[in-house]
Amino acid sequence: MRKSLLVMAIAIAWLASCADPLALPLNDVQTPAGPVDQAELDADFADVLAALGKPEAAITMAAFDAKYGTSLSADFAEQLAQSRFGGDSNYPPLTTMPFAVDGAVYLSGGSDDLAGSVIGWVAPKSLPGGFYHGAILDQAKFDPNNLDAPALQSAIAKGAGYESANDWMAKVNAAVLNPNFAVNAARLNQAQATVDYYCALPAGQQAYGFFKNYVNIFNVVTKQDRYWWYCTKVVWEVYQHYGLDIDSNDHRVDFSSSGLYSLVSAYYKTLYFWSPSRARAAIDSYIAEARGKIVLAEEILLSPHFTKVFEAIRK
């Protein structure tokens, strides 16, 4: 009898040692019935990424959810609804938006424009306004008699480029941040001129995106990359040349509620369905790396180098 109890105790101890001590419940993802073929998962996931911001996003996410037990359709419900019913173009222009301070930073959110096609779908929106797009004013290029003049350095379809005052007055939600330090005009002009080089490059000599190959989320564009551009990276670049790092990396910017987190979580929880702790470690590692590489509009909003002087939140 004692021998039987001893054998049973050893067996229980062995099973306990094999258990995942860091396991977390994956209540939001159903465990697949069998092993996941990574090549097939990668192909299906690539289809989801390619559909971001496009009409086919809804059907592609629904198919992925049905196959792998994920919740992308629910996680992206707001973006999918906006994609189906169109963006917001019925707001009057923000005619009181100021364009008076050289180096002022402009942030926007709430609309489904170019940036909204992918970056707006994946960026964290932790603060009022849901800001994810950005630009910086070059006051020397601003013409009050021609509000279509390309006066703000930002990112457009080809990569780094320009936007106009009219472009910005048409935003749904917007904020303007003025530098709260004594600006060295000559140094700022030199920084803007350096970034002008990239803004003037034609398509084919640069590209647009948070991620290389546009939607490859496993290849996040670094701040030092001079081929891939997105709007807030252009803003960061100007101030980097000026001598300031305006990426606050403030932890009030909550990645866990972002579309990027939903995508990464769906992928790794499916790939590592057999080990919740391994899935969690992969997710946390990815988000930590992305936080360091990506310059977000909300991180600039929380930078100690600026003071908000204008804000309009209409959605």
**pLDDT score for 220:** 92
In a domain, 209, yes or no: yes
- Residue 107's φ and ψ, nearest 5 degrees, are -125, 145
Residue that has been written with the tokens 């379809």 in this structure? 157
Query: Which of the pair, 111 or 225, is modelled with greater confidence?
Result: 225
Q: The domain spanning residue 202 has which CATH number?
A: 3.90.1720.10
* Encoded amino acid at 290, one letter: A
**pLDDT score for 3:** 44
Residue that has been written with the tokens 């359709």 in this structure? 73
**pLDDT score for 213:** 74
CA angle centred on 281, ends 279 and 285, rounded to 5°: 120
In a domain, 141, yes or no: yes
**pLDDT score for 54:** 87
**pLDDT score for 89:** 57
CB neighbour list of residue 226: distance below 8 Å, 6 or more residues apart: 198
Residues of the chain with pLDDT > 90, as a percent, come to 75
**pLDDT score for 315:** 86
**pLDDT score for 81:** 83
Per the structure, the count of domains in the chain is 1
Phi-psi region of 128 (alpha: psi -120 to 50; beta: other; left: phi over 0): beta
CB neighbour list of residue 197: distance below 8 Å, 6 or more residues apart: none
**pLDDT score for 78:** 86
Q: With 70 as the cut, is the pLDDT of residue 163 above it?
A: yes
Least confident of 6-10, 189-193, 203-207, 282-286: 6-10
Question: What are the tens digits of pLDDT across the range 127-143?
Answer: 999 999 999 999 999 99
Q: With 90 as the cut, is the pLDDT of residue 229 above it?
A: yes
Give yes or no for a contact between 185 and 102, defined as CB atoms under 8 angstroms apart. yes
Query: Which of the pair, 205 or 34, is modelled with greater confidence?
Result: 205
Q: With 60 as the cut, is the pLDDT of residue 12 above it?
A: no
In a domain, 278, yes or no: no
Give yes or no for a contact between 309 and 103, defined as CB atoms under 8 angstroms apart. no
pLDDT confidence bin for 90, thresholds 50/70/90: confident
CB neighbour list of residue 228: distance below 8 Å, 6 or more residues apart: 159, 206, 207, 208, 209, 211, 212, 221
**Which residues span the domain enclosing 136?**
105-261+284-312
In a domain, 234, yes or no: yes
**pLDDT score for 260:** 95
What is the rounded average pLDDT of the residues 172-196? 98
In a domain, 52, yes or no: no
Q: With 70 as the cut, is the pLDDT of residue 33 above it?
A: no
Q: How far is CA 268 from CA 38, 103, 123, 205, in A?
A: 11, 41, 19, 34
Give yes or no for a contact between 254 and 244, defined as CB atoms under 8 angstroms apart. no
Among candidates 82, 135, 138, which has minimal Cα distance to 113?
Answer: 82
What is the rounded average pLDDT of the residues 55-74? 96
**pLDDT score for 99:** 98
CA angle centred on 309, ends 305 and 314, rounded to 5°: 120
Q: How far apart are the first and last CA of the chain?
A: 72
What is the rounded average pLDDT of the residues 294-310? 97
Distance of CA 162 to the CA centre of its chain: 20
Q: With 90 as the cut, is the pLDDT of residue 118 above it?
A: no
